[in-house]
Amino acid sequence: MSAPTLLERLAETFPDSPAAARLKAAILFAGVRYDACLPAAAAWAFPNYMPYTLPPGVPAFEGQRQVQLPYLLRLADDTQVRLRIKPDSPFAVRPDDGPLGYAVYEHDRKVIDTTFEPRLPWADLLTADGTPMRATGLSQHGDMLVMNVAPGCEYFVVPGGEGGRTRNLSCTFCLYGLPDQRMKPLGQELFVIDVPRPTVARVIEACKHPETHAKQLYMVGGSMVDMAQEGDRFVRIAEQLAEAGLTERYYVACGSGAIPRKQMEQMKALGVRGACFNLEVWDPTQFDRICPGKSSIVGRSRWIESLEDAVDVFGPDDVMTAFVGGAELEGEGAFTDPQQALDSNLEAGETLIPKGIQPVYSLHWKVTGKNRGEEPLYTLDMFLRLNEGLAAIRRREGRLINPEFFTRRAAYMQLEPDYDEPLTRGAGTPLSSFC
């Protein structure tokens, strides 16, 4: 008898996980093998943010050894998954004569029809003043537009260090908010509340394109050291979104820091419908270690109180907080046993979900090798154990992920909607026939 395949093993080990969630997690961790159909599809698909260098022995594609690849796979039921290339993967994506044009294979067995998330027309257009719409601070992941017109995070340059120097109190895993060249074309200045009106006008013009096909508009930005000022920044942006009719067209959510209740109420009155204030890690000691700015400037207790305020303002189906699974296992002072991390994260679910706060987990990726490959700190089994545990809490409490806020077609590295959407839609997953 041959050894079970990866999907067969996962089906036996995690029977309470939907088949689509098991497949998605398996592809997140194992990746897919390279196939020439991938750079060919990049002509029309949403592109990866980094080119892929073809390894020795693989034929060049159209004379090139560095190629663009699609970033996101999309299955028939809108399950979306980040695409990574790994030569030893059991999975491959190949052209297929099925309805979507491609299929996922495990070894030589066809698993499911698939396609790639397309690059939509707005991303290649210019605003009225000639700015590329993709350079306005707007990006898209399937159903969700992410608007970031103030990317620089002040936690990287907190005043008050010795000799007048600044201190870096940024989260240890984060480079996303590093103040850099992205700020200049957007006109962002650190420690200044206002984003220039032309900057917001340009991103609104992109959001108003009739063919974004998006359902959610998620406002994010770099943290300010003054939470009231950060709240004012988001309120002022929300005012302009409301004036443009975008709070009616999209489910608009605020992805700020732990802002005061006053600004939440102002945004709610403007039509903002949800909030996600990212706690990042649950354990108090790990929070202090991993998020020194959030810990010393805001405080863990205040962060949780702000999330509780958000439930009062926006409602118990409309508040999330993102966690970075694996950050608590890296660096000096990290958990030494992965079971500690799992227990801590399930404790977060037991504490937050009954209050109407949804913890949502992304993976912490460690950069490896000269080509800057990425590998998660969690194992595949640990990630599925965590998600099964959290899903069980959500079912027990009657608090499923709100598909108006967060859909499986927006969750390209998270599994929560993949567990809950079949239940909120009242139907079993159409992918339940495969392992």
**Is residue 76 very low, low, confident or very high in pLDDT (cuts 50, 70, 90)?**
confident
What is the pLDDT averaged over residues 80-93? 96
Is the pLDDT assigned to residue 149 strictly greater than 50? yes
Alpha-carbon torsion (279, 281, 282, 288), positive or negative: negative
Tell me the CA distances in angstroms from 44 to 121, 123, 127, 308, one per residue in order: 10, 12, 21, 43
Average of pLDDT values for 109-128?
96
What pLDDT, in 10s, does the model give residues 337-374? Answer: 999 999 999 999 999 999 999 999 999 988 765 555 67
Strand partners of residue 66: 53
Q: Which of 48-52, 68-72, 202-206, 328-332 has the lowest mean pLDDT?
A: 48-52
pLDDT at position 366, please? 81
Which pLDDT score is estimated for 370?
56
Predicted confidence at residue 429, as pLDDT, reads: 41
Query: Is residue 427 pLDDT above 60, yes or no?
Result: no
Query: For residue 422, what pLDDT is reported?
Result: 84
pLDDT of residue 49: 86
pTM: 0.94
**In 83-102, which positions are buried (b, 16+ CB within 10 angstroms) versus exposed (e)?**
bbbbeebbbbbbebeeeeeb
Across 390-416, average pLDDT: 97
Checking if the pLDDT of 432 tops 80, the result is no
CA 124 – CA 211 distance, rounded (Å): 12
pLDDT 10s digits, 174-214: 988 999 999 999 999 999 999 999 999 999 999 999 999 99
CA dist., res. 115 & res. 97, Å (int): 12
What pLDDT shows up at residue 430?
46
Least confident of 43-47, 265-269, 420-424: 420-424
pLDDT value of position 373:
64
Inter-residue contact 422 to 429 (CB < 8 Å): yes
Of 183-197, 238-252, 307-321, 412-426, the one with minimum mean pLDDT is 412-426
Compute the mean pLDDT over every residue in the chain, rounded to the nearest whole number: 95
With 60 as the cut, is the pLDDT of residue 216 above it?
A: yes
What ranges do the domains of the chain cover? 37-116, 121-424
Could you identify the residue written with the tokens 């009231």? 228
Report pLDDT for 426: 55
Which tokens sit at 239? 């005012």
User: How far from 276 is each of 317, 321, 388, CA to CA, in Å?
Assistant: 12, 5, 22
pLDDT at 433 over 70: no
pLDDT computed for residue 23 by the predictor: 98
For the chain, the farthest-separated pair of C-alpha atoms sits apart, in whole angstroms, at 70
Provide the pLDDT for residue 152: 97
pLDDT at 30 over 70: yes
Tell me if 335 sits within 8 A of 328, measured CB to CB.
yes
- The span from the CA of 140 to the CA of 55, in Å, is 30
Between 252 and 423, whose confidence is greater? 252
- Residue 202's alpha-carbon distances to 176, 212, 254, 362, in angstroms, are 22, 15, 19, 30
User: What gap in Å lies between CA 364 and CA 4, rounded to an integer?
Assistant: 28
Report pLDDT for 377. Answer: 92
Fold adopted by 121-424: TIM Barrel (3.20.20)
- Contact (CB, 8 A) for 242 and 273: no
